[in-house]
């Protein structure tokens, strides 16, 4: 929390400082060109230049170009503590009481200026010492225009600074200090309102890391970003918990499903060893059961291995062009004998020519086999199992439909999960891995699988694959 607070207060401080600097610059500029002061000074100089011209007339119009004229002007400048310039008709400064600008063009020195009443005008000159403000008016001697006479004063830089610090600096600093105090309080408030709820998320994460999978962060504290983080964290925890529970269930299932046939094998083997199976027929029966259970174990471990490899993406899938219709109908033929024995009719419907798809024939056969195996297992005597392959748009559709007992609605979302069996009592040797493998293989082919079913009305497994373009 401290770090957040420090960052906030630093950021606020920087903003306040920047604002103060910008404000000072603006105020300084305003002070410098303060129209009122400017007017007052100009007015003052305007009277003075008129007075200077009056003095010249009274002294008998001595020309400033002459020694007498220049002396008088120098004397006036000294007495009034002003600078006096005489600019000839060509705009060249011919007399400067400060003896610095003589021979220079008055216009090139000018920074800004403007007209005043009575033929006067004002002008400003920037120098190292500060700004010189002049007011000039035409000089008329013996009714002849003799250029202009100008009276000026220096507005030193330091004067501006002094005025600034005397009038504006104090209030500016006060405002800055007040802003700093307020932003400190604000920073404290913000850092508290973010840091505290954040701390709860941290605590929940620590608890989770320590193994408490039920740890959750409160989702209704703090700003939206923190709430969002809490929600995301909780969703993640939910998933971790679900995954762990699924893993536990999976292990329990595997252990259970391995145990049943193993117990059976053990029992019959023991009977053979002990001689409990006395006659030839019961010995054969025991051997037959051991063989079947071992087969079941082999089937299950193969299925588990397949599933693990598919889920890890480690199973190599071929991708060759194939006719899905021909493949599915060929697989169906292999179930004909079994179907006849169960009194179930088999049908395969496909158009004479289908666009090809890219896939692994062996794995796709496994998919069709698993679906047909289920269909036959859950369909009673007199039923019907149909395969239908069609092409729509850029897809190939394979439907395996039966007229069997169907799947209850509450089981439908789960039947593709590993080890899920809608009704373990039925379905005999099934271990609940067939459909999980179907889904993995179909997805590995870029396809999708869906199921439609209602109890008593049969089931339809609908597979979609992208066709080869
Ligand atoms: P199993 O080896 O038990 O058949 P599956 O993964 O193939 O495992 O199927 C999971 C569950 O889905 C089955 O236990 C069964 O309840 C249900 N099921 C699958 N196919 C059908 C079907 N054609 N008709 C009715 N139920 C089905």
| CA nearest neighbour of 321 among 468, 142, 156 | 468
| 267-281: pLDDT as tens digits | 999 999 998 877 889
**For residues 146 and 94, is the Cβ–Cβ distance under 8 A?**
no
Q: How far is the CA of 402 from the centre of ligand 1 (A)?
A: 12
Tokens linked to 149: 């006479």
User: Among 255-259, 320-324, 388-392, 455-459, where is mean pLDDT lowest?
Assistant: 255-259
Q: Whose CA is nearest to atom 2 of ligand 1?
A: 430
Q: Whose CA is nearest to atom 25 of ligand 1?
A: 406
Burial class of residue 116 (count of CB atoms within 10 Å of its CB; 0-12, 13-18, 19+): middle
Q: Does the pLDDT of residue 150 top 80, yes or no? A: yes
**For residues 214 and 241, is the Cβ–Cβ distance under 8 A?**
yes
Q: How far is the CA of 7 from the centre of ligand 1 (A)?
A: 60
Strand partners for 448:
464
Q: Give the pLDDT mean for 317-339.
A: 95
Q: Does the pLDDT of residue 1 top 70, yes or no? A: no
Q: How far is the CA of 389 from the centre of ligand 1 (A)?
A: 21
Q: How far is the CA of 379 from the centre of ligand 1 (A)?
A: 11
Pocket of ligand 1 (CB under 6 A): 370, 374-375, 378, 402, 404-407, 415, 420-423, 427, 430-436, 459
**For residues 398 and 326, is the Cβ–Cβ distance under 8 A?**
no
Q: How far is the CA of 388 from the centre of ligand 1 (A)?
A: 20
Q: How far is the CA of 240 from the centre of ligand 1 (A)?
A: 27
pTM of full prediction above 0.85? no
| CA nearest neighbour of 45 among 143, 128, 210, 155 | 155
Q: Whose CA is nearest to atom 17 of ligand 1?
A: 422
Q: Does the pLDDT of residue 399 top 60, yes or no? A: yes
Q: Does the pLDDT of residue 185 top 70, yes or no? A: yes
The pLDDT assigned to 442 comes to 96
Give Cα separations from 133 to 40, 45, 74, 99, 288 (angstroms): 12, 9, 18, 17, 123
Q: Whose CA is nearest to atom 26 of ligand 1?
A: 407
pLDDT band of 320, cuts 50, 70, 90: very high
pLDDT band of 260, cuts 50, 70, 90: confident
Q: How far is the CA of 422 from the centre of ligand 1 (A)?
A: 7
Q: Work out the angle at residue 427's Cα, subtended by the Cα atoms of residues 423 and 433, and round it to the nearest 5 degrees.
A: 85
The ligand 1 atom nearest the CA atom of 437 = 6
Instruction: Report the alpha-carbon distance of residue 124 to residue 38 in Å, rounded.
Output: 11
Instruction: Out of 415, 441, 459, give the residue to mutate to test ligand 1, the one with the largest number of ligand atoms within 8 Å of its CB.
Output: 415
Phi, psi of 323 (to 5 degrees): -100, 105
SS3 label, residue 459: strand
Q: Whose CA is nearest to atom 21 of ligand 1?
A: 374
Tokens linked to 344: 């179930």
The ligand 1 atom nearest the CA atom of 421 = 14
| CA nearest neighbour of 286 among 274, 269, 273, 298 | 269
| 81-97: pLDDT as tens digits | 999 999 999 999 999 99
**For residues 83 and 151, is the Cβ–Cβ distance under 8 A?**
yes
- For the chain, what is the mean pLDDT? 90
The pLDDT assigned to 428 comes to 59
| 25-76: pLDDT as tens digits | 888 888 777 777 778 889 999 999 999 999 999 999 899 989 999 999 999 9
Q: How many CB atoms lie within 10 A of CB 447?
A: 21
Q: How far is the CA of 427 from the centre of ligand 1 (A)?
A: 7
Instruction: Report the alpha-carbon distance of residue 25 to residue 409 in Å, rounded.
Output: 76
Q: Whose CA is nearest to atom 23 of ligand 1?
A: 375
Strand partners for 390:
397
Q: Whose CA is nearest to atom 12 of ligand 1?
A: 415
Give Cα separations from 395 to 434, 448, 463 (angstroms): 24, 11, 10
The pLDDT assigned to 29 comes to 80
The pLDDT assigned to 347 comes to 97
The ligand 1 atom nearest the CA atom of 435 = 6
| CA nearest neighbour of 88 among 66, 114, 106 | 106
Instruction: Report the alpha-carbon distance of residue 428 to residue 426 in Å, rounded.
Output: 6
Q: How many CB atoms lie within 10 A of CB 46?
A: 20
Tokens linked to 142: 């013996």
The pLDDT assigned to 429 comes to 61
Tokens linked to 319: 């991708």
pLDDT band of 126, cuts 50, 70, 90: confident
Could you tell me what percent of the chain has a pLDDT over 90? 61
Q: Does the pLDDT of residue 139 top 60, yes or no? A: yes
344 or 143, greater pLDDT? 344
Q: Give the pLDDT mean for 330-350.
A: 96
Q: How far is the CA of 405 from the centre of ligand 1 (A)?
A: 11
The pLDDT assigned to 2 comes to 61
The ligand 1 atom nearest the CA atom of 431 = 2
The secondary structure of residue 30, as a DSSP letter, is: H
Q: How far is the CA of 426 from the centre of ligand 1 (A)?
A: 9
Q: How many CB atoms lie within 10 A of CB 228?
A: 12
The pLDDT assigned to 251 comes to 86
Q: Does the pLDDT of residue 374 top 70, yes or no? A: yes
The pLDDT assigned to 242 comes to 87
Q: Work out the angle at residue 309's Cα, subtended by the Cα atoms of residues 306 and 312, and round it to the nearest 5 degrees.
A: 145
**For residues 379 and 402, is the Cβ–Cβ distance under 8 A?**
yes
184 contact partners, CB below 8 Å, separation of at least 6? 9, 12
Q: How far is the CA of 54 from the centre of ligand 1 (A)?
A: 121
| CA nearest neighbour of 91 among 112, 116, 64, 110 | 110
CA 354, 360, 366, 367 torsion-angle sign: negative
The ligand 1 atom nearest the CA atom of 436 = 6
The pLDDT assigned to 319 comes to 93
Q: What is the CA radius of gyration of the chain?
A: 51
Could you tell me what percent of the chain has a pLDDT over 70? 98
The pLDDT assigned to 117 comes to 83
pLDDT band of 203, cuts 50, 70, 90: very high
């Amino acid at each position: 929390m401290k770090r957040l607070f420090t960052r906030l207060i630093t950021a606020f401080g920087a903003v306040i400082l920047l604002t103060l600097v910008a404000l000072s610059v603006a105020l300084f500029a305003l002070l410098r060109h303060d129209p009122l002061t400017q007017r007052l000074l100009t007015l003052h100089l305007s009277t003075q230049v008129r007075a200077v011209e009056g003095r010249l007339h009274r002294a008998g119009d001595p020309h400033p170009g002459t020694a007498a004229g220049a002396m008088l002007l120098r004397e006036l400048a000294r007495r009034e503590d002003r600078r006096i310039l005489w600019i000839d008709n060509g705009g060249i400064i011919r007399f400067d009481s400060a003896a610095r600008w003589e021979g220079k063009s008055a216009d090139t020195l000018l920074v800004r200026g403007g007209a005043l009443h009575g033929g006067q005008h004002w002008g400003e000159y920037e120098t190292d010492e500060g700004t010189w403000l002049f007011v000039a008016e035409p000089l008329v001697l013996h009714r002849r225009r003799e250029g202009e006479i100008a009276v000026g004063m220096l507005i030193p830089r330091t004067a501006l600074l002094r005025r600034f610090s005397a009038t504006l600096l104090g209030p500016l600093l006060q405002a800055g200090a007040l802003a700093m105090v307020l932003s400190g309080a604000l920073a404290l408030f913000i850092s508290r309102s973010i840091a505290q709820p954040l701390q709860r998320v941290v605590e929940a994460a620590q608890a989770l890391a320590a193994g408490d999978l039920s740890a959750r962060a409160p989702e209704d504290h703090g700003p939206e970003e923190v709430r969002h983080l809490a929600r995301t964290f909780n969703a993640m925890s939910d998933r971790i918990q679900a995954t762990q529970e699924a893993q536990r269930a999976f292990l329990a299932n595997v252990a259970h499903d391995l145990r049943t046939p193993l117990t059976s094998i053990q029992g019959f083997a023991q009977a053979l060893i002990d001689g409990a199976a006395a006659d030839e027929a019961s010995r054969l029966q025991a051997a037959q059961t051991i063989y079947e259970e071992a087969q079941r174990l082999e089937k299950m471990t193969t299925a588990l291995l397949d599933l693990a490899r598919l889920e890890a993406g480690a199973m190599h899938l071929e991708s060759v062009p194939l006719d899905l219709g021909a493949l599915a109908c060929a697989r169906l033929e292999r179930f004909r004998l079994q179907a006849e024995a169960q009194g179930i009719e088999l049908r395969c419907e496909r158009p004479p020519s289908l666009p090809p798809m890219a896939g692994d024939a062996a794995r796709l056969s496994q998919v069709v086999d698993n679906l047909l195996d289920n269909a036959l297992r859950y369909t009673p005597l007199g039923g019907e199992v149909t395969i239908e392959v069609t092409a729509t748009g850029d897809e190939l559709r394979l439907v395996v439909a039966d007229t069997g007992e169907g799947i209850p609605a509450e089981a439908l979302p789960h039947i593709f999960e590993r080890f899920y069996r809608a009704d373990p009592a039925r379905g005999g040797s099934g271990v609940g891995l067939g459909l999980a493998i179907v889904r993995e293989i179909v997805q590995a082919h870029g396809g999708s699988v869906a199921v439609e079913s209602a109890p008593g009305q049969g089931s339809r497994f609908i597979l979609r694959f992208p066709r080869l373009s």
